[in-house]
Structure formats: C-alpha cells, structure tokens
C-alpha cells in the first residue's frame, strides 16, 4: 500500500469510527465487521511504515511520531466505539462474527510491536518513548474493553459449528497475547489470563474435547520454565528475581485453575507438566542451599514456586493419565543427569500428597510408585553422598526412605506381597544402594507392622536362600552376601525372643552347615539362657581348631567358620585359654611364616585372606577383655605390622579398622612406647607404599580419620607424616578437604564412582591370564561376571532341608507349549464334570497347588 492509499483508508476509517448514528441500524453489524478489518489494516500499515523508515538511511523523526500517533488514535477510537456498541445493542457471534478474532489480532499486533521495540527502534527509542507509552496504554485500554465484552456481553451459540470454531480461534489468539504480555507488564498479564480462564470456564462443556487445555498448558509450562530459569541465573538483579518468581507463582495458579476447568478432558498430554515438575523438584530448597543460593532466593522459591506447585500436584495425582506419565518416564536416559534427583523427589512428593487423602488412596496403584523409587535409587549415588539436607536434617537417602515407609504402610496384602518380591530382587542384585534401601525398608516395615509369623517366615526364607547361595564359589565376596548379611542381621534383631529360639531350633548353630549363617545372625542376639549353652560349646570347638594342625584346605575352612561364629558371641569376662589360642593364631599369620604371599590375592591364597579376616573379627569381639593385658595388644600389633609389610591391598584394607582401633586404645604401662612404635611403623608403611597401587588404602585410612573424628588418631598420623615432606603435604590436603569440601570436585568424583560395576576379581584375573583356558570357559558358562541372581523362582523352589540342587526349568518350543495347554484344558473340563463330593480333602489340596503354580506363570 502506498502513502496515498494509506491516507485515504485512514481518513475513511477514522470517519466511520466516529459515526455512532449507524449503531442501531439493521445493517450495522456488517458495517462493523468491515470497519474492524479496515482498522486492522490501517494499524498494520502504520507500524510497517515505522519499520520501513527505521531501515532507511534518512530517518524523519516527525514521520515516525506521526505513524505511531495514527495507530494510537485508531486504537482509542475503536475502544470508544466498542463501548458505545455494547451500551446500545447486544452483541452476538451470529451478527458480529469477526469481532472476537479481528480485535484480538489487532491487540496481539500492537503488543508484539511494543515487546520488540528495543530491537526495532534501536537508538531512536528515546526519541519516540512517549509515543510508544501511549501506544501501549491505548492498546491496554482496548484489551480491557475487548475482554470485558467477550466475558460478559458477547453471546456465543456453541451448538453452531461455525461459532464453536470462532471461539476456538479466539482462545488461540488470546493464548498468544498471554504469552506476549507476560514480559511487558504484570498487571496486563494478570488481566489477560484471568479473562482467558473465565472464558474457558464459561464454555468448558463445549471445549472439553478440544485442544484448548493441551495448548494452554504447554504455553504455561514454557513461560513458567523461562521465568524459573531467569530467577536462578547467577548475579541476577534482585528485582528481576522477585518479578520472575511472582510471575511464576501467578502462572502456576492459572495452571491449577485450568486443570480444574478441564479435569475431565479427554485430550490431555502431561509430558510438559511432568518435565516442569521435575525441574521444580530438582531446584528444591535443599539443593539451592547446597548450591550456595542466597536465603532470600530460597525463601522466594519456596513461597512462590514450591507451595503453589504442591497444590497443583495434589490435584494432578488423582488423574490416572498423569500418574501413568510419571511412572513410565524414561529414567535411564537421565541417569547421568541431575534431573534424576528432580524425578525421584517428584515421586516422593506424589506419595506424600496421596497419603494425605486416606479416603481416596485405595484407588491408587501404589506399587508402581515404589517400583520407580527402586529403579531411581540406583542412579542416585551422587546425590545421596553430596550432603543434601532435608526437613529435620534428613539426608536424601533417609528422606526417600522415610516417605517410602509411610507409603508402604498403606499397602494391602497383595501389594505387600509384590513389594516383598521387589525387596528380594534388590537384595539379590549387585547394586548396593538399592539393596541397602530395600534392607532398611524391610526392617522398618517389620518393626511397624508387628506381624510375628510373617517376619519369622521371611527370615526363614532368607536363611534358606543364604545357605543355597553359600555353596556358590563366587558368593563369599559378592555384594549379595553383604546385602543378605545386613538384611538378615537387622530382621533377626526385630524378632521376639521366643521366635529367635524357634529359629535356632530350625537352624542349629552347632551344626557345621549352619555356622556361617549364625555368624550373620549372631549368637549374641539369642536369649541369654540359650546363648550361654551354645557359646560354651562354640568356644570349646574354637579352641580345639586353633591348636590343631591346619594341613588341609578343609581344616582352614572349618577354623574360619568357627572363628567367625565365635566372633558373634558376647564376651563379658576374660577367657585365658581363648586369648592364648588367639595370640598363637596371630603368630601363625605373620608373613615370615608364609613366603609365598605376594602383593595380590589370587585363587591360591584366598584362604589366607579369610583366615586373617576371621582373626580380626574374633579379636574385635574379645576387645573389652583381651586388651586389658597390654602384652596381648603388643603381640597383635606386631602381627598386623608384619602382615602389612607385604603391601597387599586387600589385606591392608581388611586390617585398617583393626589397626586404627588399636592405635587409639590407651596403653599406660611399660608397653606404651612399644605400642606407639608399632602403630607408627604400620601407618608409615601404608603411607609410603607405592601410590599407584595403594591409593585406595590411603583413602580408607583418611576416611576412617574423617568418620572416627578422634583427636588421638589425628595426632598419631600427624606425627608420622611430619618426618616426610611429601606425606605432610598429602595429609595437609586431606585436612583441608575435611574442613573445606570442594562441592564440584566431590560431585565429579562421585559421578566417576557411580559408574563402577561389580565384577568378580578371580574371574577377571583368570580371564587375563589364560583366555583360552577350558576352566575359564566353564566359569563363563556357569556364572555371570557380576554374580547376579535374577532367577528368584529357582531360589524359592525346593525349600526343604534337602541338599539336592535346584532343578532347571525345561525349555519348550511354541508347539510343545500349545500341546500341553490343550491337554490341560481338556483335563480341566473333565474335572469340572465330576460331582463335588467325589473330591477328597487331599484332592482339593492338590488342585489348589496346581492353581497356585498356574497363577505364578501368569504373574
């Protein structure tokens, strides 16, 4: 359009906008629709002329101002005309069919120009600042008039398809206006969104199956995320932060309102909402505090983001579609991302919100949420070790565990049975964090549920599993042994005394095949009268084995078993015979007697490692009485010092706790100097050994110092390292790290260690030594490198005391399976034709057993 045509159209449009005489004429609606189109064209052309002038070489200031003022006057006159129309006649979509969309397009056009004014006007912005303010003000006035008419005056008949399409287009335009104004003016944004939700609410019955809800929620999620990120930017201005947080607060409340309006809509995709909730839960107060955010920001986030988000979540959780999206979220793809923290906290918050409504919770598929916790917890190694603190000073692990316990207590028997199987699977897998979680959860539920018979049954089952796995070559140093040991020990302590006695009768501690099991359950946990009788016999056997010749592999294994069992006893008084035998055993362990030992453990020397481990355990159990005689302490220290001279990493790791425990034990007689010398020599040996090999040993020593927090131990190590500048520097760095933890460096280290996976060292060593060995091939066929027990059914079958191996399941092809099913169907039909009184109680029992087996296949 050239300037002459523009001037002509402008003059004509202004004249028509001022003519109020035609309002009550029959032809006015058509005239008004045409006038709106002209008005939009004029305003569009005015703003385009502005852009053209700014892109030219010679910018005429007067022309810029003139075109902006033309747009201002048109907006003002249009607003006045609409007010006169609604005061004079009723407006309906049937007659004024372009009003909702064309007026909205005009408002969107002007607001868009205002939003982009900095980039459009550049250096000229200051020269037209007043005119642009007038432009925004008059457009805002038109917006208010337009929204008021739509909400209260304008009539839609949504049974008409054309009018339904018009309001859908109108809402789409107003959604875009809402996106524009949120960055312009908070008040304008609030008015826009309040009117938008009012329109949706008014016509919700006709819009429920349209895409209105989905498009609106996507837009709101995007705006919330943008404001959220703005508030969290480093070195952000405080006013900008508070504005962004308040806008976020308002938008979340709009999301809440829109959800309630379209609660029963069929077209709902919660993907964007779930991603938003994950981001919100990631940036929780604990995380922000860990990141060093200002207290004002943390408080603002809590007030403006977390509280309204929780209100929204309380509504969303009762929508099955939302829960399905949450519980099927692809966690694996975010396992290395910090989003995994946000996701697991979202799951926890969903559980917490659901528990609040006890009358509705039974309709919830509760098992799915706890399943997600089990999946996620294995990816949370970094976050559970970073030092995040939650309410009442809980760590992340404890926080998740606490809410999982409360959630599990709402389970019905069927759900609890499924959870029990999940806990079995976790404990028999290789991920230690998941197993630890399962173990603590199981222990807490056993204490709170107070079901004696169930607990007894569970412990018996775990004992049987332990004994079946014990015969496996790779079990001794597998994660599963640690998991089972921890769980069995905790559950046994939960049992009543009479139930412990029942268990001791089923698994006699004096029976050699039960000794390893009772070193886990601990003789000291038995009632005193039972414990006293059993302990006497155990100690007698232990003394006998200690003084016997160890000339076969079996004799060493028997000694190790009995020493570990003896270590689980409670020693309240000195036993000189046991102590003498123990000293003799330590003397046998000295490296001068075993020249074949090297710096690495191999399959031929594992027995020695197990022997020293059992010695350390028994010595620790006797500690209260054994070390009263300082001569005993000196002899043990001397033996430990000699063993550590070998430089074997596994042995040094094993003996580190014993050494530190001996180091801080007070010696105040003539042996004081000898004890100090031996401790210093042992510590010096560890610290000076090849760093590339024994860094792990040093790390364990420093970790003990950190967790023990014993001044005497720190002083001893300080005196040792003072003799060597390299060691002194290393120790100073450790002390500095203890006081000033570099969070980012710690996070990087944890990220690296989270990738570590268990594999059996003997397998790895043999594979490297002889890849072509038939024995290695056999191991590979019969064992997985991570020793993962996935076939639970095989463990639960054949639970009698028989030592027969678990039978393997037969593999069938499709045809054979089909034939079996056909026979089964025919035989079942025949049984159904028989009279009920034909079946004896034994028949019924067998039928019930068959049904259970068939049900297990389906499950």
Sequence-distant (≥ 6) Cβ neighbours of residue 577 within 8 angstroms: 543
Lookup: tokens for 846: 């067998």
Count the neighbouring beta carbons within 10 Å of the beta carbon of residue 613. 19
Alpha-carbon distance of 285 to 291, in angstroms, equals 10
Query: CA of 189: how far to CAs of 425, 565, 711, 717, in Å?
Result: 53, 73, 62, 65
The answer to whether the CB of 249 falls within 8 A of the CB of 305 is yes
Token couple for 265: 């809509």
CA torsion, points 734, 738, 741, 747, in degrees to nearest 10?
A: 70
Beta bridge partners of 389: 395
Give CA–CA dist 124/113, Å, rounded: 15
DSSP designation for 203: T
**Would the pTM of this model clear 0.85, i.e. be above it?**
no
What is the pLDDT, as a whole number, of residue 806? 40
Both tokens of 614, joined, read 């059992």
Q: Are 560 and 610 in contact (CB under 8 A)?
A: yes
Q: Are 99 and 36 in contact (CB under 8 A)?
A: yes
In 3D, which of 581, 707, 697, 722 has the Cα closest to residue 644?
A: 697
Give dist(CA 596, CA 372) in Å, integer: 50
3-state secondary structure of 397: helix
Stretch (H or E) spanning 477: none
Which pLDDT score is estimated for 691? Answer: 54
Query: What are the residues whose beta carbons fall under 8 Å from the beta carbon of 488, sequence distance 6 or more?
Result: 459, 462, 463, 466, 517, 520, 521
CA 467/CA 478 separation, integer angstroms: 14
As averages over each run of 10 residues, the pLDDT of the chain (859 residues) reads 82 86 83 93 92 81 89 94 91 92 96 91 86 94 95 92 95 95 90 95 91 93 92 86 93 94 87 95 91 90 93 92 92 91 96 85 83 94 89 87 94 92 93 95 94 94 93 85 95 94 94 93 92 89 82 83 91 78 84 58 73 90 78 87 83 88 82 86 77 69 81 84 80 63 77 79 47 42 43 51 40 58 74 65 76 74
d(Cα 648, Cα 661) in Å, to the nearest integer?
A: 20
Q: What local confidence, expressed as pLDDT, does residue 688 receive?
A: 75
Chain-centre distance for alpha carbon 375: 8
Closest CA to 568 of 528, 530, 518: 518
pLDDT of residue 223: 94
Residue 104 CA to residue 147 CA, distance in Å, equals: 9
pLDDT of residue 217: 94
DSSP string, 605-650: THHHHHHHHHHHHHHHHTHHHHTTSHHHHHHHHHHHHHHHTT--HH
* Residues contacting 90, CB < 8 A, separation 6+: 153, 155
Look at residue 469 in the predicted model and tell me its pLDDT.
92
**Rounded to the nearest 5°, which phi and psi values hold at 395?**
-80, 170
Using DSSP's 3-state secondary structure scheme, residue 389 falls into: strand
């Amino acid at each position: 359009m050239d300037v002459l045509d523009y001037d002509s159209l402008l003059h004509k449009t202004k004249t028509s906008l001022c003519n109020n005489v035609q309002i009550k004429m029959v032809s006015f609606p058509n005239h008004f629709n045409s006038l709106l189109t002209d008005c939009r064209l004029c305003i569009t052309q005015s703003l385009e002329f502005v852009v053209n002038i700014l892109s030219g070489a010679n910018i005429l200031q007067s022309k810029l101002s003139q075109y902006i003022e033309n747009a201002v006057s048109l907006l003002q006159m249009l607003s006045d005309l609409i007010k006169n129309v609604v005061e004079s006649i009723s407006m309906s979509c049937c007659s004024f069919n372009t009003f909702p969309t064309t007026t909205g397009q005009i408002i969107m056009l002007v607001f868009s120009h205002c939003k982009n004014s900095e980039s459009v006007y550049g250096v000229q912005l200051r020269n037209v600042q007043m005119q642009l303010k007038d432009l925004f003000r008059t457009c805002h006035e038109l917006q208010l008039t337009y929204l008021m008419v739509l909400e209260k005056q304008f009539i839609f008949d949504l049974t008409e398809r054309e009018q339904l399409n018009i309001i859908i287009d109108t809402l789409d335009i107003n959604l875009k206006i809402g996106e524009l104004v949120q960055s312009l003016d908070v008040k304008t944004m609030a008015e826009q969104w309040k009117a938008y939700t009012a329109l949706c609410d008014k016509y919700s019955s006709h819009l429920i199956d349209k895409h209105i809800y989905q498009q609106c929620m996507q837009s709101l999620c995007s705006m919330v995320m943008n404001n959220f990120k703005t508030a969290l930017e480093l070195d952000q201005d405080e006013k900008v932060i508070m504005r962004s947080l308040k806008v976020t607060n308002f938008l979340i409340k709009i999301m809440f309102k829109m959800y309630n309006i379209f609660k029963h809509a069929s077209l709902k995709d919660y993907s964007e909402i779930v991603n938003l909730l994950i981001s919100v839960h990631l940036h929780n107060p604990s995380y922000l505090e860990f990141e060093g955010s200002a207290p004002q920001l943390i408080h603002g986030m809590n007030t403006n983001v977390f509280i309204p988000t929780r209100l929204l979540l309380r509504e969303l959780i009762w929508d099955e579609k939302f829960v399905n999206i949450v519980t099927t979220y692809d966690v694996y793809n975010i396992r290395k991302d910090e989003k995994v923290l946000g996701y697991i906290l979202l799951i926890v918050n969903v559980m917490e919100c659901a528990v609040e409504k006890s009358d509705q919770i039974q309709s919830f598929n509760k098992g799915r949420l706890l399943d997600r916790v089990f999946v996620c917890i294995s990816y949370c190694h970094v976050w559970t070790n970073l030092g995040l603190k939650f309410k009442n000073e809980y760590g992340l692990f404890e926080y998740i565990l606490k809410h999982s316990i409360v959630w599990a207590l709402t389970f019905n028997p069927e759900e609890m049975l499924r959870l029990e199987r999940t806990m079995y699977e976790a404990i028999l897998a290789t991920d230690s964090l998941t197993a630890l979680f399962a173990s603590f959860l199981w222990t807490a539920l056993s204490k709170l549920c107070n079901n004696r018979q169930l607990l007894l049954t569970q412990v018996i089952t775990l004992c049987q599993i332990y004994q079946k796995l014990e015969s496996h070559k790779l079990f001794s140093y597998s994660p599963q042994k640690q998991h089972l040991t921890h769980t069995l020990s905790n559950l046994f302590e939960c049992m009543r005394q009479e139930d412990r006695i029942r268990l001791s009768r089923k698994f006699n501690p004096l029976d050699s095949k039960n000794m390893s099991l009772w070193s886990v359950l601990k003789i000291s946990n038995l009632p005193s009268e039972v414990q006293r009788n059993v302990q006497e016999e155990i100690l007698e056997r232990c003394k006998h084995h200690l003084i016997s010749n160890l000339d076969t592999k079996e004799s060493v294994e028997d000694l190790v078993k009995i020493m570990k069992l003896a270590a689980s006893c409670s020693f309240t008084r000195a036993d000189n015979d046991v102590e003498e035998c123990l000293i003799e055993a330590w003397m046998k362990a000295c490296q001068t007697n075993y020249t074949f030992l090297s710096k690495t453990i191999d399959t031929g020397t594992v027995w020695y490692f197990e022997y020293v481990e059992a010695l350390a355990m028994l010595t620790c159990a006797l500690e209260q009485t054994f070390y009263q005689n300082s001569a005993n302490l000196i002899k043990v220290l001397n033996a430990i010092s000699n063993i550590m001279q070998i430089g074997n990493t596994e042995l040094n790791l094993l003996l580190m706790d014993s050494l530190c425990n001996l180091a801080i034990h007070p010696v105040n007689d003539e042996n004081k100097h000898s004890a100090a010398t031996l401790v210093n020599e042992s510590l010096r040996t560890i610290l000076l050994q090849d760093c590339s090999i024994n860094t792990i040993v040093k790390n364990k020593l420093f970790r003990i110092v950190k967790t023990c927090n014993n001044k005497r131990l720190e002083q001893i190590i300080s005196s040792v390292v003072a003799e060597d500048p390299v060691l002194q520097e290393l120790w100073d760095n450790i002390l500095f790290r203890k006081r000033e933890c570099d969070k980012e460096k710690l996070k990087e280290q944890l990220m690296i260690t989270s990738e570590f996976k268990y594999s059996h060292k003997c397998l790895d060593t043999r594979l490297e030594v002889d890849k072509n060995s038939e024995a290695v091939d056999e191991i590979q066929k019969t064992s997985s490198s991570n020793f993962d027990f996935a076939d639970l059914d095989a463990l639960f079958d054949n639970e009698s005391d028989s030592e027969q191996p678990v039978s393997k399941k037969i593999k069938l092809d499709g045809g054979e399976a089909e034939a079996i099913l056909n026979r089964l169907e025919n035989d079942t039909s025949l049984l159904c034709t028989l009279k009920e009184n034909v079946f004896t109680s034994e028949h019924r029992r067998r039928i019930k057993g068959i049904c259970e087996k068939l049900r297990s296949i389906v499950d």
